[in-house]
Amino acid sequence: MLGDTSFDDTARGDRHGGRALILVENLSVPFDRRVWQECTTLRDAGWTVDVICPRGSRRDTEPEAVIDGVRIHRYPLRAATGGPAGYLREYGSALWHTARLARKVGPVHVVHACNPPDLLFLPALWLKRRGARFVFDQHDLVPELYLSRFGRGKDLLYRGVCALERMTYRAADIVLATNESYRDVAVRRGGRRPSDVFVVRSAPQTDRFQPVPPEPELKRGKPHLLCYLGVMGPQDGVDYALRALAKLRDELGRTDWHAVFVGSGDAFDAMVELSRRLGLDGQVQFTGRVPDADLVRYLSTADVCLSPDPRNPLNDVSTMNKVLEYMAMGRPIVSFDLKEARVSAGDAAVYAPANDESEFAKSIALLLDDPELRARMGKTGQERIGGELSWRNSQASLLAAYTAACRDRVPVPAGARGRAGKRPRR
């Protein structure tokens, strides 16, 4: 399907690092912040980087682009609808396009596949047979994602996604885990050697998240602004947040707030309808995805930020990007009590008992009434993002992972150049 190009002399990086091909199906690039930070880190270390990903609907729409020295190849993809059959159609289309574009890119030293889904090991194996090393970047635990999203239990499809995860682990030379919980899964369930699993945490770009002066008009005449930022899928807990806000109003008698929900996803329309049914449409605003400048305005004005992900097999062990972004902006957080939420936020959040909407509402009220506590928590979050959770530490781990992946690779000769996808002259 991908053709017969030999790796031997063609996969030349423009500098000493080599050539890397990053495969993504879940989001477009550079919209996928983690992937884009990995791209630019590798570029700065001397790698020539290509990316294959889907096109975005409103941004990242060009079929091909070179941005800051990274070449991005994008394919059309319609998001899944209609349950598992819809996902089979989506993933089948994504695999076909990925294979087509990988042939266009040509031989590489490293193929770096980011899940979900756990299917990208198929084109990665083709490239691996031609000399590439395979780095598996595990963004999600897909078996846990399946259990949390569909509520079908451990049925035949669940066993299928477990099998695909096993095959991906087996095929990979190196695994990147987003936190220690994921690393433990790779070692315990995936059978990987600890030395082959590297923790590369997601961390916000601090130059992107720089506070600006608050804009009181965003509060719509209320004393306080509450903010949610992130994806709105079935497992992301926006419904929990909305029911907690209804309880904040009805059980605690608090109407001194306006809430803004920034982001989009599969559940967006359903969440707008739930807000209407709860009688919150006058106090809750849904913006959809917004430019970075508007996002920073909302977060700079917010008094409290919401992380309502309920406890389920996936969320308890996953690092939430929104929590890190709230911290980078110096915002206090209300979260359910999840294992990795505590690892990330520490004292920058207050934690309601898992999935308890009434306690979540009480935690919001607690912070609204204590501006000094909010300020301390915000400062704590910024210090953590600038220290142990900084992208600098993740960069070092990413480059160490690539060094491990290529430890027995023949170095690219200094000054050697080649054009991917073309055969060398004989």
Specify the length of the chain in residues. 426
Segments of the chain with pLDDT less than 70: 1-16, 81-84, 409-426
> What does DSSP say about strands 257-262 and 18-24: parallel, antiparallel, or unpaired?
unpaired
pLDDT for the residue numbered 4: 39
Per-residue pLDDT of 206-249, as tens digits, reads 888 899 999 999 999 999 999 999 999 888 999 999 999 999 99
What pLDDT does 58 receive?
Answer: 84
From CA 250, how far away is CA 69, in angstroms rounded? 53
By three-state DSSP, how is residue 208 classified?
coil
Q: What is the pTM of this model?
A: 0.88
Nearest to 323 by CA among 313, 331, 311: 331
* Cα–chain center distance at 178: 9
- Residue 164 in 3-state DSSP? helix
User: In this structure, are residues 175 and 197 in contact, taking their beta carbons and an 8 Å threshold?
Assistant: yes
